[in-house]
Amino acid sequence: MKFVRNSGVFGFALLVAILVALPWFGPSPNAVRLLFVTFVWVTVSIAWNILGGFGGQVSFGFAVFYGLGAYAAALAVNSGLPTVPALLLAAGVALVASLVIGLPTFRLRGPYFAIATIGVSEAVRVVMTNVSLTGGASGYRILETGPFRQLDHFYISLALAVLAVAASVQVRRSRFGLALIAIREDEDAASDLGVNPFRAKLLAHALAAALTGAAGGVYAQYAGFIHPQGVFAFSIGVAILLMPIIGGVGTIWGPVIGGVVYGLIHDELVASFPQLHLLIYGSLLILIVLFEPAGLVGLLDRSFGILVGSRRIRAANPQT
């Protein structure tokens, strides 16, 4: 067990090392852009998974945190704050928002919570469209303080993604993570066993929001221009939800795979088949819900299990 776990960590560390060293291989700016976008998506995907995958609380409203983080970082940078404090501020603002939203809505269960998050997300978008401090509907521009250094953004987003993975692993292995899973499986039983579901959900929400807010801030600094119909769009909330589900909700690597798939393939898809991407994601979602709830990770594991031929895998996977 330990060997396997450590080899997983080793594999991941190797991957990160390769990514860090990547600029030495002279990739094109477009490749760097793709990776940057992927890291941002991976971060939010992992973040959502903490609440939605481990905790089982499906929120359609993560665009709120993404957008608030983007705006907070943008305002901070324009006021002169350097990058990292701006990102911390972004995470902080998103965290506070998650508490404000979570306090009333976590009393709701299942789809009611999901629907409430849709309502909140759209309400925030409409409000932000009317706040003149941030430019309202016209959007908000981040003043560029020097020549554009693409690699700086690359490394920041990579660092954030690694942080997210570490946080995810840490949560999963902790008692807190166990509590979340217990809540996901049966909230009442968990509560009977001494878990405080309300507090656990709030905490998970806060962590997820902070990561998402930071990701939004990272994105804002790269894009240079944000507006409410963009960063608060319902479609962002949907994308944030689709990634971990397609990748494998409730696992550690599922969200990562989902983020990678979305970041890399989505870009290619939009460029080559702009007319079909809704069809593809919708069908994927349907297929996953019906046949492989464990997403791509589940598929991988099944094929891996078939390759290895382990009886234990087959026993654990009654559908095969």
Partner 1 sequence: MSATDLLNLLIAALLLAGVYAVMSVGMTIIYGVMKIVNLAHAGFLMLGAYFVYELYTHLRIDPLLGVFLGFPVFFFIGMAVHRILVRRIPISDQPTLTSLLLLFGLWLVLQNLGYLVWGNSDRAILTRRTLDVLQIGPIGLPTVRLVVFAVALAALAGLEFVLHKTWFGRAVRALMQNNDAGRIVGVNVDRTARVAFGVGIAFAGAAGGLLAMLYSFSPDFGGAFLLRAFVIIVLGGLESFAGVAIGSLILALVETFAILALPANYQPAIAFSLLVVALVVLPGGVAGLWNRRRRLA
Partner 2 sequence: MANCAKSNLKKWHSLSASPFFLLILTLVLPGCGKGNKASENEIVVGVVLPITGREAKPGQFQREGIELAIHQINQDGGIFIHELDKKLPVKEVFYDDGSDQAKSAGLVERAMTSDKVVAVLGGYSTALGEAESVMPDRYQTPWITTGAAASTIFSRGYQYIFGTLSPTDLLGYTTAEFLGSLVDQGKLKKGLKLALALENTDHGVDYGKGIDKWIEQHPGYFAVGFSEKFDLGSTDFSGLLQKVKNARADIFLADAHLQDYITMQRQYVQTAMYHQMISYGARGPESDARKALGDATNYIFAGIWWSVKLPYPQVKKFAADYQAFVGRPPDSWYPATAYDAMRALATAIEQAGSLNKTAIRDHLRTVELKDSLLPGQVLRFGPNGQIHTPFVIVQNKPEDKVDIIYPPDAATGEAIAPKPR
Residues in contact with partner 1 by CB under 8 A are: 56, 58, 104-105, 107-112, 114-116, 118-120, 122-123, 126-127, 129-130, 234, 238, 245, 275-279, 281-286, 289-290, 293
- Least distance CB 58 / partner 1 (angstroms): 5
- Least distance CB 105 / partner 2 (angstroms): 20
For residue 81, the tally of other CB atoms under 10 A from its CB is 15
Tokens of 320: 């095969």
Q: How many CA atoms lie within 13 A of 178 on its CB side?
A: 6
- Least distance CB 220 / partner 2 (angstroms): 11
Using DSSP, state whether 298 is helix, strand or coil: helix
Residue 109 binds which of partner 1, partner 2, none (CB < 5-8 A, kind-dependent): partner 1
- Least distance CB 86 / partner 1 (angstroms): 28
Select 84 or 279, whichever has its Cβ closest to partner 1.
Answer: 279
Residue 235 binds which of partner 2, partner 1, none (CB < 5-8 A, kind-dependent): partner 2
Select 286 or 306, whichever has its Cβ closest to partner 1.
Answer: 286
Select 141 or 277, whichever has its Cβ closest to partner 1.
Answer: 277
Residue 81 binds which of partner 2, partner 1, none (CB < 5-8 A, kind-dependent): none
CA–CA gap between residue 304 and residue 294 (Å, rounded): 14
End-to-end CA distance of the chain: 24
Residue 297 binds which of partner 1, partner 2, none (CB < 5-8 A, kind-dependent): partner 2
- What secondary structure does DSSP assign to 2-62, as a single string? HHHHHHHHHHHHHHHHHHHHGGGG---HHHHHHHHHHHHHHHHHHHHHIIIIIS----S-T
Of 99, 117, 97, which is closest to residue 57 (Cα–Cα)?
A: 117
- Least distance CB 125 / partner 1 (angstroms): 9
CA–CA gap between residue 188 and residue 211 (Å, rounded): 28
Residue 312 binds which of partner 2, partner 1, none (CB < 5-8 A, kind-dependent): partner 2
Bridge-based pairing of strands 140-141 and 225-226 is antiparallel
Residue 37 binds which of partner 1, partner 2, none (CB < 5-8 A, kind-dependent): partner 2
Select 84 or 280, whichever has its Cβ closest to partner 1.
Answer: 280
Contact assessment for residue 8 and residue 165, using Cβ atoms and an 8 Å cutoff: no
Select 167 or 239, whichever has its Cβ closest to partner 1.
Answer: 239
Select 283 or 320, whichever has its Cβ closest to partner 2.
Answer: 320
Select 18 or 127, whichever has its Cβ closest to partner 1.
Answer: 127
Alpha helices in the chain (DSSP H): 2-21, 29-49, 63-78, 83-105, 110-130, 150-173, 175-185, 187-192, 197-223, 228-231, 234-248, 253-260, 266-272, 277-291, 295-308, 311-316
- Least distance CB 176 / partner 2 (angstroms): 17
- Least distance CB 56 / partner 2 (angstroms): 8
